[in-house]
Amino acid sequence: MPEEQGTTTGRCFACKRTFSFDPKEVMTFLIDPETGFPPGITFFGSLRPAKPDAVARSVDEPVCPDCVDKAKRFADPGNTPPQWESWPPTKD
Ligand SMILES: [Zn+2]
């Protein structure tokens, strides 16, 4: 009998969408609640110094597969550095 246990529901850190995931399989990001970003790495994969106190207060937040995919694409070298949902190509 297939085991469907272990699936839980949570809110994607990035897009706030509720989605189901297996806690053992889901991609998570360690998020510093003060900044909303991981202490040692930005959501998009660029590195920055991680302070120990930031790491200590950070929590793992699940991220839905769509956003993982987006983050990977944004992390590609050569892409324009993104700003999540506020990336305005406004030119007057
Ligand atoms: Zn998402």
pLDDT at res. 51: 83
Other CB atoms closer than 10 Å to residue 16's CB: what's the count?
9
Residue 9 has pLDDT above 90, yes or no: yes
Ligand 1 ion local residues (Cβ < 5 A): 12, 14-15, 64, 67
CA-to-CA separations, 34 to 28, 50, 59, 65, 85, in angstroms, rounded: 17, 13, 11, 24, 19
Name the pTM for this structure. 0.57
Per-residue model confidence as pLDDT tens digits over 13-66: 889 999 999 988 998 888 888 878 777 655 556 666 778 888 899 998 999 999
Q: Is residue 37 part of a domain?
A: yes
Q: Is residue 38 part of a domain?
A: yes
pLDDT at res. 18: 96
Q: Which two tokens stand for residue 23?
A: 């806690």
Q: Is residue 23 part of a domain?
A: yes
Using the mean position of ligand 1's atoms as its centre, give its distance from the Cα of residue 19 in Å.
Answer: 8
pLDDT at res. 56: 92
Using the mean position of ligand 1's atoms as its centre, give its distance from the Cα of residue 35 in Å.
Answer: 18
Q: Is residue 84 part of a domain?
A: no
